[in-house]
Copies of this chain bind each other. A is one copy, B any other.
Amino acid sequence: MVDITDINDALDDVREALTAEDWDRAIALVEAMRPADQAAVFEELSPDTQSELLPRLNPEDSADILEELSDEDAIEVAGRLEADDLTRIVNKMEPDEAADLLGDMEPDQAAETLSSIEDAEEILPLLEFSDDTAGGLMTSTEVLLHKDITAAEAIQHLKTAVPETGIAYYLYVVDDDVHLVGVVSLLEIVVASTETCIDEIMNPEVISVQARTDQEATARLMARYDLLALPVIDDNNHLLGIITHDDMVDVLEEEETEDIYRLGGVPDERVTPTVSPRIAMRARLPWLVLNLGTAMLSAVVLSLFEETIAQLAVLAVFFPIVAGVSGSAGTQTLTVTVRGLALGEVSPRDGLSALSREILIGLVNGIVVGTLIAMIALVWKGSPILGFVVGLATFINLIAAGFAGVLVPLGMSVVKLDPALASPVLVSTLTDTLGYLIYLTIATVFLLRFF
């Protein structure tokens, strides 16, 4: 049995062998591991050790490692390999992974590798499609069944072709012109009587995608219908390839990370906790500068009221409350809306009902929170008018936060931008600036008159 502690121990053993430069032991240990663990160990090695280790492993394991590494890491590692080592390894890669790697490599090196590998004709068609589409995710189909063969012939065909284990849980059925006409599970073939024709047991209602479908839509389709594999077709319903479940899981994870990062103000999802600080700085700095720009808007508003603040400094004490609480309310609404858009629970045509919902929530929560704040201001600073002003400003701003939290992400989605991308900075700018404006306007009108 395998558990996580065992895996961590195994990683430690490999590190130890490599530190001691005991190559044979390190190779034996790595070759005994599962691909995901091999890649985890490999990622932690220095570039020099990586370049030394990879050609010494058997090509299947090296291929697995290149497949599991992030795209950026794989290109770097592959770029440092000798031409014939690279060819040996790419020969053992899955066609879709090989196509991803070659498509991202230097054109010269890619062309040289393509000219010397065995299955170039399987990889070449995959190179046409962009990485972030269904076509870019698909791999070539190893086994197709013709609709007119029998269950026994299908099994015979499988025994001859011997596809890689794990791929053939679904088999796709085609006609004479390789049009996709059905899907049948291996189990259905096995339990059918031998003379049954495939088109009697297949399901003709196959869910499929066009090659240019976006990768996130593709993955969500697979998740929605619990699909282990998804066939990819061209405009004429010719079967081009299939997408396997591991790609679906990777894409969903990648897209979730992208959303979480964008909502958190890190617009480049490659900035994992392990990239070099240099890259992390470069990715984050522009966002901070953009934020500085939007904070300037609030500063300009405050500047308009400098005189009011000078006369009544206690007003400034409540800035964090007026801006902070409605900022939080805006972020809440934004978060629910962005996630709803990603999961397909909300669409721009629900805009009006989402908006009225959020205004209602803002109204009720605004009354509760506004009253609380008014009471705090009253008790703390002993002024009922100050309490009234702070409470009223918070109340109005909570409703405004509901507006912004719905309209900004829906607007981004209408103009085909990722709602998660610019929303947090836009929403908090709106709630902050509006908060100060409302608060200080009310204060100037009431307080300076009645205080």
Interface residues of A (CB under 8 A from B): 1-4, 34, 36, 155, 158-159, 162-163, 165-166, 168-169, 180, 185-188, 190-191, 205-210, 217, 221, 223-226, 228, 233, 237, 245-246, 248-249, 252-253, 256-257, 259-261, 263-266, 271-274, 277, 280-281, 284-285, 287-289, 291-292, 294-296, 298-299, 302-303, 306-307, 309-310, 313-314, 316-321, 323-325, 328-329, 331-332, 334-340, 343, 345-346, 350, 354, 357, 360-361, 364-365, 368-369, 372-373, 376, 425, 428, 432, 436
- Chain B residues, Cβ within 8 Å of A343: 253, 257
CA distance A280 to B224 in the complex (A): 25
Cross-chain contact B190 with A155 (CB below 8 angstroms): yes
A313 to B298, CA, bound (A): 15
User: What 7 A-B pairs have minimum CB-CB distances, sorted nearest first?
Assistant: A264-B335, A298-B320, A310-B313, A273-B340, A169-B169, A295-B324, A226-B246
Residues of B near A309 (CB, < 8 A) are: 309, 313, 316
B321 touches A292 (CB 8 A): yes
From the candidates B246, B260, B288, B376, name the one contacting A325 in the complex (CB within 8 A). B288
Report yes or no: B372 in contact with A280, Cβ–Cβ below 8 A. Answer: no
| Known contacts A191-B162, A260-B263, A365-B285; is-contact A253 B252 (Cβ 8 Å) | yes
- The contact of A259 among B260, B310, B331, B432, by CB within 8 Å, is B260
> Among B252, B291, B317, which residue has its beta carbon within 8 angstroms of that of A299?
B317
Q: Are A339 and B260 in contact (CB under 8 A)?
A: yes
Chain B residue contacts of A245, Cβ below 8 A: 226, 228, 245
Q: Are A328 and B288 in contact (CB under 8 A)?
A: yes
* A225→B34 contact, CB < 8 A: yes
